[in-house]
Structure 1
């Protein structure tokens, strides 16, 4: 899975860290998730215990978007075969080739014209559905940018500006999505509302802490409505002056949740990745400790805390005695103040590297294969990675973790993985 893994795995601890990451990413893949949670028996489709009578519908279509949307569509084609009568999903980089569902490409992490045209096509297909159509909505992380349907009075440039501003300010995803829902025709349940009266079954790959369907991809199948006042409060909190967005939100009345026929099922999340990584660790004879699947906040601070936990484990055996693997998930953020290149996982491991105990190894990746806006998935470090602490501090100050780690052969590359369940972090204490 990882490029140059034979070089990176230069000790048993390095090899174990890479194997835990690979197992976690594989377990969170839509193909594996559909195999675990979905089945067809005769004319009955079962998703996580809920049954749907396929014979009650004239047609079945797949609509949606996100980094894993094409793999979700392909997995449902394998499951349902010729029962699927078409559809369209939007992703940023194709990793699957369904034959019955069209795959369009949009832009991520900020929306572009491809995101707008893709969302319009999805909405057009949804609008054409009727009560005899079963809509399977394939929704995954990244869908907020990839399904971009600007509300009246707004352009894709307006949405790009507000998204970039919030990302650079280090705003958490739930706040970003509060703004997105108030500025979009597809978010906050817009896809389900457009498809009505067709019933919608959301099949979600979660990339958010807590797995709230209204937050995943800003909730195209979660009819939450929108709160313009809350969106304005987010803009105020980060001092963003995006005039067109403010003009739309100012004085706009809240939109109440619509009453539509929709059910959402989360079939893959960060918990799946953590559980698979833990299984690998225990099979190798290591004690395994899961800190949390919900770690958020500034990446550098989280990295230093993980290094401290590793040192405690090595010295006292708490919270787990060596040989041990400490695991965590979630989504950290970076407040961009420098001009360098990097992402949250790169900053996480670089900030931790100087304080790791002897022989310990720390790896962290974004499970989609792209750390921030870089082409690396994340990084792998040990106590030898940083031989010049001052240079490491300077790289962090300039948000240039990518360049520093690249110079130490400490970056991890996977390419697009076909899934997206946030960050996965593995600390090995031999």
Structure 2
């Protein structure tokens, strides 16, 4: 039984989060306490630059959204009662109502979340499985960790999905499932749709999902559109995992990596009812002209579903969804606010724009450069020294064969605007980076742009326009050493775009 809207316990023992990888710990030399301003002495400030400030601000945001800390700070075990308190979300579970506790999860942050629950519940956990991106695993005692491909799903992901389906089937009402969901879960749990019904039978393959996913990402479709299609060619997404687990009770801890924090979009709605339909999924494929790029089997499945000849995803009111409690533990807003706190502590006047920046990366770069120019000229939005911060997730429509990601593309487009500025970016500094540490299919989180970076590119004989045409932002910034590489951060709440006008 889950009791809601209870006050959290007055006293509880705080658990200390385990250290991250040595590589990450060495890079992160500046760790302000979460929620506190850090005021630098005049002497310390003199040794810092706007670009190093941007890295420190980003680093503080990552510290705030550590999923381990989010769990242990807000989930308490007292006797047999498990209490959960995230802002206005209050829930309590009496563990004596259950014979088994199962931990399941998918996403870049899921192993770290599982570590937190192992530290809280210990041997009370019967078994579990989480599917994470390569390099995002944690050493766990009760929960099996399987690593798989992202953003392109692979056979290891299929194996993880099969194993999770086996664990989810045949559960009873005396089982409590803790589902740990985070960004990347869509790719990390590929379960190709199979439906056996005579002439309406559908049997999709991993290759079908890979081709469809690649076409969607290259088209410029946003993550909500991509996940709508994913849900309708999957056997576990769109609430279907909940249907497999019924009649078990589930508490679902969700770290949002989507703009707007829609539960049916995060990881393609593994634990939520789905508000989209086969007809909408088919419409998205047609909107981007992908009918010829999409596998024939996928198009057939979407058309059959749109005609009502395949079972839809779980909808509101489905009995399985009534057994689930979804808890949003973090989002881009938490990272944005931490970044703002740290920027103020470093002496900047701060303007927080939005957590919902979307659209083409290049257009977003023009928008940011316009703000930078206004701040430099008039201080209308905020006075210098200024730090302007936004969060969200942009897209790139691929036209070239280069290497990069949406944040590197934005930094490169920002640099292009700077090159056209008669002042060549004087006083302007920019960082765009992904909170998961991997921007697109690269090992970089993002990239920096400034007058200094522009000069380095010109000295190296690099062409900004050529790199943009080829979508080759990674190699452009790699040549001059201006990529931001954090390694796996074990978290994911979209991107941060940060501007300093000094």
TM-score range, shorter chain: over 0.9
RMSD (Å), alpha carbons: 1.9
User: Partners of 1:297 and 1:119 in 2: how far apart?
Assistant: 32
Asked if 2 retains the 8 angstrom alpha-carbon contact of 1:29 and 1:418, the reply is yes
Aligned partner of 1:154 among 185, 200, 204: 204
SS of 2:453's partner is: coil
Cα distance change on mapping 1:178 and 1:376 into 2, 3 Å: same
1:54 aligns with 2:92: no
Aligned partner of 2:82 among 20, 45, 49: 45
User: Partners of 1:301 and 1:5 in 2: how far apart?
Assistant: 31
Asked if 2 retains the 8 angstrom alpha-carbon contact of 1:189 and 1:225, the reply is no
User: Partners of 1:365 and 1:141 in 2: how far apart?
Assistant: 15
Provide the residue aligned with 1:129 in structure 2. Answer: 171
- Cα shift readout 1:146-204 (whole Å, capped 9, x = no counterpart): 11111111001001100000001111011111111111110001111111100111101
Asked if 2 retains the 8 angstrom alpha-carbon contact of 1:288 and 1:326, the reply is yes
Cα distance change on mapping 1:409 and 1:5 into 2, 3 Å: farther
Deviation at 1:349, TM superposition (A): 0.9
1:219 aligns with 2:285: no
SS of 1:250's partner is: helix
1:426 aligns with 2:498: yes
Asked if 1 retains the 8 angstrom alpha-carbon contact of 2:137 and 2:147, the reply is no
User: Partners of 1:174 and 1:127 in 2: how far apart?
Assistant: 28
Aligned partner of 2:342 among 276, 280, 293: 280
Aligned partner of 1:19 among 48, 51, 56: 56
1:259 aligns with 2:319: yes
Asked if 1 retains the 8 angstrom alpha-carbon contact of 2:462 and 2:476, the reply is no
SS of 2:452's partner is: coil
- Cα shift readout 1:377-419 (whole Å, capped 9, x = no counterpart): 1111211222449811110111011111111211011111100
User: Partners of 1:75 and 1:218 in 2: how far apart?
Assistant: 24
SS of 1:386's partner is: helix
User: Partners of 1:391 and 1:4 in 2: how far apart?
Assistant: 30
Provide the residue aligned with 1:246 in structure 2. Answer: 299
Provide the residue aligned with 2:161 in structure 1. Answer: 119
Deviation at 1:103, TM superposition (A): 0.3
The 5 A counterparts of 1:9-408 are 11-47=48-84, 48=86, 49-93=90-134, 94-152=136-194, 153-224=203-274, 227-240=277-290, 241=292, 242=294, 243-252=296-305, 253=308, 255=312, 257=315, 258-260=318-320, 261-356=323-418, 357-387=425-455, 388=458, 391-408=463-480
SS of 2:440's partner is: coil
Deviation at 1:135, TM superposition (A): 0.2
User: Partners of 1:348 and 1:2 in 2: how far apart?
Assistant: 27
Cα distance change on mapping 1:304 and 1:10 into 2, 3 Å: farther
Asked if 2 retains the 8 angstrom alpha-carbon contact of 1:206 and 1:420, the reply is yes
Structure 1 unaligned runs (5+)? none
SS of 1:295's partner is: coil
User: Partners of 1:384 and 1:148 in 2: how far apart?
Assistant: 44
Flag the structure with larger Rg: 2
User: Partners of 1:81 and 1:309 in 2: how far apart?
Assistant: 50
Provide the residue aligned with 2:32 in structure 1. Answer: none
Asked if 1 retains the 8 angstrom alpha-carbon contact of 2:28 and 2:59, the reply is no
Cα distance change on mapping 1:4 and 1:43 into 2, 3 Å: closer
Structure 2 unaligned runs (5+)? 1-23, 30-45, 195-202, 419-424
Q: How many residues align?
A: 428
Deviation at 1:424, TM superposition (A): 1.2
Cα distance change on mapping 1:293 and 1:36 into 2, 3 Å: farther
